[in-house]
Structures are given as C-alpha cells and as structure tokens.
C-alpha cells in the first residue's frame, strides 16, 4: 500500500507545482520561497512544471527571431512546418538556454556568496521565465492581425502596429527579469543590493560568453 500512496503524493505535488508555474506571475514570493527546499524529492516534484516552462518560453523566444520572420519565404515551407519548427526548435533552444543561462546564474550567485546548487539556480531561472512562456498568448492575436506575413520578410507586419507587439514582447522580458530579481532575493534571503549584485554578475558572464563567441 505504501507505493501507491507515495505515487499519489508525488502526483499531487507535481500538480501543485504546475499551479505554481502560473501563480508565480501574480504572487512570486511564496512560490520562490518553496524553492529553498532543494531536496531530491522537492526538485523532482518541480520537474514537470520546469520542463513545461522551459519549452513554452523557448517556443516564444524562437518565434521572435529573424529566422522565424523569413520561414515562409523558403520554398516548400508551409504553416505546418512552421509549427513543427517552432515546437522542436523552441524546445531545443529552451533547453540550451536553461542549462547555459542557468550555469551563468549559478556562477553569478556563487560569486555573490550563494551556497545554493546548480539545480536550484536552473529551476529558479525556469520559474522566472513564466512571463516569456505567457507571451505565447499574444501570438493568436498577432496572427489574426497579420496572418502568415509574420513569417515573411517585408510583409504587412511593419509599422506602428507591429511596434506595439514588439513592445509587448519586451515588456514580458522585463517582467521575467523582475521576477528573477525577486526570486534571487527570496530564495537566498538577501537584500536587494546583494540580489542585484548576483544578477549583474550573471549578466556579465553571459555578456562575456556572447562576446567571446562572436570574436571566435
């Protein structure tokens, strides 16, 4: 009887974290406070929510790349292939950023005095990315306004209307950065200056890596 009971508890915990992936958008501090528990059981319970956030945020991110804006210019590419590309490419991109940016965040927080694990830094980053995952909700409206032109170079998605959508996307990114700062402060119990120090160090590491890649 013990095994079924444990399975039910694990399933309930996973559903709780899926709910927290949404709750973090409006009440971030209680959600981030739960990340202080970095036990294997707690981390495993969060994994389904983390995976969903990483994939959704990755899809939202690749849809705004210049590559996405030219997909339908290529011969043989239709709406179905665009959807497949967004899901597979977005999922892969999300995972890469999850581990790469998670490593930078871990290093930055360590430099600021954190004793937390790489796993917790990654999961903190994932929950902070909730606004970017939410930005996918803008796409049905954008497609309704511009149709397939959003995936074509020089289409109708130019001018003030498209600038509004770009501004919305940037607002979601800013929201995610604010959540990341709140998450760092809450998880570690730091002051705002120290939390921003850790975040700044992580951003500096990312910037150095980007510069090094471009130089090479």
**Cα–Cα distance measured from residue 216 to residue 214, given in angstroms and rounded to the nearest whole number:** 5
Please give the sequence-ordered ranges of beta strands (E in DSSP) within the chain, or none if there are none: none
pLDDT digits (tens, 9 = 90+) for 142-190: 888 888 888 888 766 676 667 888 899 999 999 999 999 999 999 999 9
Predicted TM-score (pTM) of this structure:
0.91
Kindly give, in sequence order, each residue whose CB lies less than 8 Å from that of residue 53, ignoring residues fewer than 6 positions away: 21, 126, 127, 129, 130, 133
Break the chain into its structural domains and give their ranges.
Answer: 2-215
pLDDT of residue 157: 66
């Amino acid at each position: 009887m013990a095994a079924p009971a444990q399975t039910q508890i694990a399933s309930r915990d996973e559903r709780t974290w899926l709910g927290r992936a949404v709750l973090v958008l409006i009440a971030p501090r209680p959600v981030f406070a739960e990340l202080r528990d970095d036990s294997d059981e707690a981390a495993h319970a969060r994994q389904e929510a983390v995976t969903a956030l990483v994939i959704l945020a990755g899809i939202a991110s690749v849809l705004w790349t210049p590559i996405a804006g030219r997909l339908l210019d290529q011969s043989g590419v239709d709406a179905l292939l665009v959807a497949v590309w967004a899901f597979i490419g977005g999922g892969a991109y999300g995972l890469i950023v999850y581990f790469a940016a998670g490593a930078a965040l871990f290093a930055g927080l360590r430099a600021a005095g954190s004793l937390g694990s790489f796993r917790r830094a990654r999961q903190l980053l994932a929950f902070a990315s909730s606004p970017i995952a939410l930005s996918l909700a803008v796409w049905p409206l954008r497609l309704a306004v511009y149709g397939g032109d959003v995936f074509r170079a020089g289409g109708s998605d130019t001018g003030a209307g498209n600038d509004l959508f770009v501004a919305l996307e940037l607002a979601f990114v800013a929201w995610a950065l604010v959540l990341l700062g709140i998450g760092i402060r809450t998880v570690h119990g730091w002051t705002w200056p120290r939390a921003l120090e850790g975040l700044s160090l992580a951003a500096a590491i990312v910037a150095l890596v980007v510069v090094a890649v471009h130089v090479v």
